Amino acid sequence: MVRITQIRLIDRLLLIGPPGIGKTEHVRYLAEQEAKKLGKIFVDVRRDLKRRPELVREIQQNPEKFYLYWRIVVPHVFPEDLSFPLKVEDVLKYVQFIAPRELMLFTIPDIYGVMYLDEITNVARKDQESMTFSWINEKEIAWSLQISDNVKIVAAGNPPEVSSVASTLSAPLINRMIRVYVEPPTVEEWIDYMTTRYGDSWNRRTAAFLMMFRDSLYKPPKDVSTLDSFPTPRS
């Protein structure tokens, strides 16, 4: 087991750890750093395309300039969400399947980025599990849409012992990924993160408190199902 801050960005990485310890935040940070190292423009697909729809055309025309990051909550995605039928009238009548714009951007051969599959252990339906297996194993989605080789796939989930809705994953899926069990950061690492991310725009008394009461950074509940709040780096 390693601390979340010690994780490095590699393709087909699976992070298993309790909720709220910074898995999502750290993966995004690593993606931002890799984009900076490559001299590319970082684009958060979920956030930035809503603010600037014109980015879609810019990415399509100059993919080598951009680095894409897309957090996907896997239990919210179903196979039928990834391709839509479009009737084509040609010499032959047939149906062409098209994909959402966000997904299509990741199939551009020259594009770099990270697809972050979150809450992967919360998948309940078998067809979702099969979809995820193809996604990770072959980097293929829907009707053989091929994700760029330059895109890293990173997944994360909670172990069943800390979440009542989590379950284990199939052996072939586990075998295809590099699984790492992660634990919360230290108080010092959390303070460094807050300073780097927010500068002086956060309450420093929180740091003083945590230095005195270190268990208050993360203290999991006694039961996997609870109505009581509990401290995590996120909260």
Residue 86's CATH number: 3.40.50
Q: What is the pLDDT of residue 112?
A: 98
118 and 76 within one domain: yes
As a whole number, mean pLDDT of residues 34-38 equals: 97
68 and 168 within one domain: yes
Flag whether 14 is in a domain: yes
> Mean pLDDT score of the chain, rounded to an integer?
89
159 and 102 within one domain: yes
Per-residue pLDDT tens over the stretch 132-143: 888 888 888 877
Do residues 31 and 42 make contact, with C-beta atoms less than 8 angstroms apart?
Answer: yes
191 and 167 within one domain: no
Per-residue pLDDT tens over the stretch 104-117: 999 999 999 999 99
Half-sphere exposure of 204 (CA within 13 A, CB side): 4
Spell out the residues 6+ positions from residue 82 whose beta carbon is closer than 8 angstroms to its own: 99, 100, 103, 131, 141, 142, 145
Flag whether 227 is in a domain: no
- Name the region of 193 (left: φ>0; alpha: ψ -120 to 50; beta: rest): alpha
Q: What are phi and psi of 97, to 5 degrees?
A: -95, 130
Q: Is the pLDDT of residue 145 over 70?
A: yes
Report percent pLDDT > 90 for the chain. 51
Q: Is the pLDDT of residue 62 over 80?
A: yes
167 and 54 within one domain: yes
Flag whether 230 is in a domain: no
Q: What is the pLDDT of residue 140?
A: 87
Flag whether 79 is in a domain: yes
Residue of higher predicted confidence among 10 and 129? 10
Domain count, the chain: 2
159 and 49 within one domain: yes
160 and 59 within one domain: yes
In angstroms, how far is the first alpha carbon of the chain from the final one? 22
Cα dihedral sign, 103-98-132-75: positive
Range of the structural domain that residue 100 is part of: 2-185
Q: Is the pLDDT of residue 91 over 70?
A: no
Three-class HEC string of 120-171: HHHCCCHHHHHHHHHHHHCCEECCCEECCCCEEEEEEECCCCCCCCCCCCCH
As a whole number, mean pLDDT of residues 148-171 equals: 88
Q: What is the pLDDT of residue 124?
A: 83
Match 């979440």 to its residue by tokens: 163
178-183 and 13-16 strand pairing? parallel
Do residues 218 and 184 make contact, with C-beta atoms less than 8 angstroms apart?
Answer: yes
Its pTM stands at 0.89
Per-residue pLDDT tens over the stretch 179-210: 999 999 999 999 998 998 888 899 999 999 99
Flag whether 52 is in a domain: yes
Length of the chain in terms of residues written: 235
193 and 88 within one domain: no
Confidence of residue 52 (pLDDT cuts 50, 70, 90): very high
151-157 and 13-16 strand pairing? parallel
Q: What is the pLDDT of residue 235?
A: 83
Flag whether 168 is in a domain: yes
Confidence of residue 9 (pLDDT cuts 50, 70, 90): very high
122 and 47 within one domain: yes
Flag whether 228 is in a domain: no
194 and 92 within one domain: no
80 and 149 within one domain: yes
Residue of higher predicted confidence among 89 and 162? 162
196 and 151 within one domain: no
